[in-house]
């Protein structure tokens, strides 16, 4: 029996009300759980506390000693973020290649006609690398920093290691996505000409993916400059350590100087990274 399509109203989708209800419930539950007292907020008690604290921050301590201390901290934080990001890239390239599924299954791998044992090995390798990446990026950098401070002692080096491992996990996943996403046609051509996996990676995949990889690395550097400013809280040097000391010892005016230093440095690195990305694009 033929059915004639009429101008039927669009099928109502089942999920938007469900998601909305879930979101509202989540917010109410969170509200209750965090114990935020709206009346106290509106009465301004919390705001008064904040305002009083902010007032104590001014004026910033601009004495030469404070400024040079902030500058040293900023440079140390900058160094940690830069070296940590470089370590992350060094880890992310091999791990990202290991997690690139298109190299081990799908047309590119099947065209190599591997036996079932090799096929299974490839799948197992990808799985293993993906688990390593997940662990690296899910454990926050500050937890990594705690672990490495415990292993190698205080100083900027554990900060570098923490940033490198965590960001390596993040970048490895992003790199794998980029590498899986390249135009497959040139790869097919290389394979048809007899190129092996290394040849396909070097002449087909990496050249196509490079701008995107560099762009992601620079973006993560911007994230890392903020993270590096925090790692000092657990004894990994830099501005964070100085901020920690200033807050703990109630040196509020020095604290403002240090926060200004964070702001200036973050803004500078953001600008530098954006400029580099535009040039490399």
Partner 1 sequence: MAWPAVPSPASPGRPRLSRLLVLALGATFVLALREAEVDPRLLLQPEARANVARFVAGALPPRLDADFIAFLARPVAETIQISVMGMVLALAIGLPLGMLATSSLTWRGILHEQAGGPVRRLLALLPWGLARGTLSVFRSIPEYVWAFMFVRAVGLGPFPGVLALGVAYGGMLGKVYSEILEGVDPQPLEALHAGGAGRSGVVLYGLLPQALPHLVSYTLYRWECAIRASAIMGFVGAGGLGQQIELSMRMFQFDEVLTLLAVLLLLVATVELVSGYIRARVVG
Partner 2 sequence: MYELDGLGKRFPDGTLALDEVSLTIAPGEHVAFIGPSGAGKTTLFRLLNLTLRPTRGTLRLDGVDVTTLSGRALRAARRRIGTIYQQHNLVGRLRVVHNVLAGNLGRWSALTALASLVRPRGLDVAARALGRVGIPDKLHARTDTLSGGQQQRVAIARVLVQDPDVILADEPVSSVDPTLAAAIVTLLRDLSAAAGKTLLMNLHSVELALANFPRIVGIRDGRVRFDLAPAQVEPARLEALYAGDQDQEREVAILARSRDRFGVACRPLAGFPR
CA gap 237, 78 in Å, rounded = 11
Query: Least separation, in Å, of the C-beta of 2 and partner 2?
Result: 26
Q: Which of partner 1, partner 2, none does residue 124 bind (CB under 5 to 8 Å by kind)?
A: none
Q: How far is the CB of 101 from partner 1 (least distance, A)?
A: 17
Q: How far apart are CA 80 and CA 65, in angstroms?
A: 23
**Count of CB atoms situated within 10 Å of the CB of 38:** 8
249 binds, among partner 2, partner 1, none (CB under 5 to 8 A by kind): none
Alpha-carbon distance 278 to 217, whole Å?
14
Q: Is the peptide bond before 231 cis (omega within 30 degrees of 0)?
A: no
With CB under 5 to 8 Å by kind, the binding choice for 275 among partner 2, partner 1, none is: none
In whole angstroms, how close is the CB of 198 to partner 1 at the nearest point?
27
- Output the six-digit token pair for 280: 């490399």
CB of 123 or CB of 276, closer to partner 1: 276
Positions that interact with partner 1 (CB under 8 A)? 15, 19, 26-27, 29-31, 33-36, 46, 49-50, 52-54, 75-76, 78-80, 82-84, 86, 134-135, 138-140, 142-143, 146-147, 150-153, 155-157, 159-161, 226-227, 229-230, 233-234, 243-244, 247, 255, 259, 262-263, 266-267, 270, 279-280
Residue whose C-alpha is closest to residue 172's, from 124, 204, 220 = 220
Q: Which is nearer to partner 2, 177 or 188 (CB)?
A: 188
- Which partner from the list partner 1, partner 2, none does 64 bind, CB cut-off 5 to 8 Å by kind? none
What is the three-class DSSP state of 139?
coil
Contacts of 88 (CB under 8 A, 6+ apart): 163, 164, 165, 166, 167, 168, 170, 171, 217, 220, 224
Q: DSSP states of 257-281 as a string?
A: HHHHHHHHHHHHHHHHHHHHHHHH-
Q: Tell me whether residue 121 or residue 135 sits nearer to partner 2 (CB atom).
A: 121
114 binds, among partner 1, partner 2, none (CB under 5 to 8 A by kind): partner 2
Comparison of 55 and 278: residue with beta carbon closer to partner 2: 278
């Amino acid at each position: 029996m033929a059915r004639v399509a009429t101008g039927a109203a669009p099928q109502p989708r089942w999920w938007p009300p469900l998601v909305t209800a879930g979101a509202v419930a989540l917010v109410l539950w969170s509200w209750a759980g965090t114990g935020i007292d709206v009346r106290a907020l509106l009465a301004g008690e919390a705001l008064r506390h904040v305002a009083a604290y902010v007032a104590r921050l001014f004026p910033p301590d601009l004495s030469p000693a404070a400024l040079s201390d902030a500058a040293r901290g900023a440079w140390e934080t900058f160094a940690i973020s830069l070296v940590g990001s470089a370590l992350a890239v060094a880890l992310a390239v091999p791990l990202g290649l290991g997690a690139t599924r298109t190299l081990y299954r799908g047309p590119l791998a099947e065209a190599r006609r591997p036996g079932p044992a090799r096929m299974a090995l490839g799948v197992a390798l990808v799985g293993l690398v993906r688990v390593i990446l997940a662990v690296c990026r899910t454990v926050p950098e500050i937890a990594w920093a705690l672990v490495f401070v415990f292993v190698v002692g205080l100083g900027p080096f554990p900060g570098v290691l923490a940033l490198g491992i965590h960001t390596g996990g993040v970048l490895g996943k992003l790199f794998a996505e980029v590498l899986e996403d390249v135009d497959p046609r040139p790869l097919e051509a290389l394979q048809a000409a007899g190129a092996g996996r290394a040849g396909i990676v070097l002449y087909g995949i990496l050249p196509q993916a490079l701008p995107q990889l560099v762009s992601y690395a620079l973006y993560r550097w911007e994230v890392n400059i903020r993270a590096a400013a925090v790692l000092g809280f657990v004894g990994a040097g830099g501005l964070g350590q100085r901020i920690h000391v200033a807050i703990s010892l109630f040196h509020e005016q020095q604290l403002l100087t240090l926060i200004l230093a964070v702001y200036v440095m973050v803004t500078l690195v953001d600008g530098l990274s954006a400029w580099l990305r535009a040039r490399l694009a």
